Amino acid sequence: MDYDFSNKVVLVTGASVGIGESTALLFAKLGAKLSLVGRNEANLRAVAAECEKQKGVKPLAIFADLGTDEGIHKTAKETLEHFKRLDVLVNNAAIGARTSILHETDMKIFDDVFRIDVRGVYLLTKLLVPALIEAKGNIINISSISATVVAVGSLPYGMAKAALDHFTRLVSLELAPKGVRVNSVSPGITVSNFVKRITGSTDEQYKSWLGEVSKQIPLGEPCVGDDIARMVVHIASEHSRLVTGTVVEVDGALRFNTASSSHLVSQQIKH
Ligand SMILES: NC(=O)c1ccc[n+]([C@@H]2O[C@H](COP(=O)([O-])OP(=O)(O)OC[C@H]3O[C@@H](n4cnc5c(N)ncnc54)[C@H](OP(=O)(O)O)[C@@H]3O)[C@@H](O)[C@H]2O)c1
């Protein structure tokens, strides 16, 4: 099977690092014109430069905070002004948290997670849907197996990803008659800075946690960004032309080992 995205415009949020970076690079290798969004300017510029090296197509780098309406409007406006169309929207940017209902925290974590992981996706999608309808394009929301795995410590992130998956289903039905597909790709443990950002753990501590968690993954290893990127590209491509409203897990079956993975998440709550 071949994948060709030349002449397709693909917007990837959270492209400055991690899964978003891998996704941007893979789309660049397949010839896509890219609109890349992040907050860390140095990282985003570096990813854009690496993408340009693949096929010589210069990406548009947008520095924006998707936790603000201003940043979201800027992202939609700059993308459409620059490319005049949009074929694929990858809603990847998100933040996580490790808290519980018994944990003494204020509502800031809840508000931040829902503002970026749910509200940000909702508004950006809303603004870009007319362009996606015009292009008969598609949307991929990057979710998490935390949406269904019940683990102490996953509040409120797991709730936010569950909301995102239902957003995928609801919008897929609404947009199907318009020829726009909408799907979630749901990673399990994926090597990136995500967990370190949430927990504040050192490289050493993260490595040791990754070693422990890997023992609970039925296929024996965590994902890397490319594993997720390859599924995103497959679902975004014509090879998936009748796939919509789905949530596709890429997790080595970790979601079936709920008791042990719950223990490894709850260990990370900061007290
Ligand atoms: N890693 C995992 O184990 C895992 C598992 C399941 C699901 N996921 C999901 O996979 C996606 C990517 O995660 P990752 O592991 O690649 O995490 P990461 O390394 O922490 O990267 C997160 C990306 O999101 C961007 N971002 C966060 N908040 C933003 C905001 N307010 N405005 C603009 N950009 C923002 C970051 O940009 P800056 O750095 O430029 O701020 C960064 O590019 C997320 O949706 C996450 O929930 C990850």
Which residue from 242, 267, 222 is spatially nearest to 19, judged by alpha carbons? 222
At 41 the pLDDT is 98
Query: What's the whole-number average pLDDT of the chain?
Result: 95
For the chain, helix (H) and strand (E) counts, in that order, are 10, 7
Angle (CA) 41-96-165 rounded to 5° is 105
Return the residue matching tokens 């995500």. Answer: 194
- Decide: 19 and 229 in contact? Cβ < 8 Å: yes
Local structure of 39: helix, strand or coil: coil
Q: How far is CA 259 from CA 122, 155, 202, 242, 254, in A?
A: 32, 16, 25, 35, 10
Compute the C-alpha angle 125/53/91, nearest 5°.
15
Residue 271 has pLDDT above 90, yes or no: no
124/103: higher pLDDT: 124
Burial of 260 (0-12, 13-18, 19+ CB in 10 A): middle
Q: Which atom of ligand 1 is nearest to the CA of 191?
A: 1
Indicate the SS3 state at residue 105.
coil
Distance 264 CA to ligand 1 centre (A): 20
pLDDT for residue 264 is more than 90: no
pLDDT band at 105 (very low <50, low <70, confident <90, very high): confident
Whole-number pLDDT of residue 241:
98
Instruction: Look at residue 270 in the predicted model and tell me its pLDDT.
Output: 67
Question: Is the CB–ligand 1 distance for residue 252 below 6 Å?
Answer: no
Lowest-confidence range among 28-32, 164-168, 256-260? 256-260
Three-state DSSP string of 193-235: CHHHHHHCCCHHHHHHHHHHHHCCCCCCCCECHHHHHHHHHHH
> Residue 29 belongs to what H/E stretch?
helix 18-29
User: Is the model's pLDDT at 209 over the cut of 70?
Assistant: yes
Mean pLDDT of 62-86: 98
Residue identifier of the C-alpha nearest atom 41 of ligand 1: 39
154: Cβ–Cβ under 8 A, 6 or more apart, which residues? 98, 146, 265
86-90, 212-216, 226-230: which range is least confident on average? 212-216
Does the beta carbon of 187 lie inside 6 Å of ligand 1?
yes
pLDDT tens, residue by residue, 230-257: 999 999 999 999 999 999 999 999 999 8
Q: What is the mean pLDDT of residues 205-212?
A: 94
Neighbouring CB atoms inside 10 A of 203's CB total: 8
Confidence of residue 268 (pLDDT cuts 50, 70, 90): confident
Residue 142 has pLDDT above 70, yes or no: yes
Structural domains in the chain, sorted by start = 9-270 (3.40.50.720)
* Cis bond upstream, residue 130 (ω within 30): no
> Is residue 157 annotated as a catalytic residue, yes or no?
yes
261 pLDDT band, cuts 50/70/90, is low
Ligand 1 center to 83 CA (angstroms): 25
For ligand 1, atom 44, which residue shows the shortest CA distance? Answer: 94
Distance CA 250, CA 18 (A): 15
Q: How far is the CA of 14 from the centre of ligand 1 (A)?
A: 6
Q: Percent of the chain, pLDDT > 90?
A: 88
Whether the pLDDT of residue 262 is over 90: the answer is no
The reported pTM is: 0.97
Residues 17-60 pLDDT 10s: 999 999 999 999 999 999 999 999 999 999 999 999 999 999 99
Does the pLDDT at position 177 exceed 80?
A: yes
Catalytic residue among 3, 122, 157, 206: 157
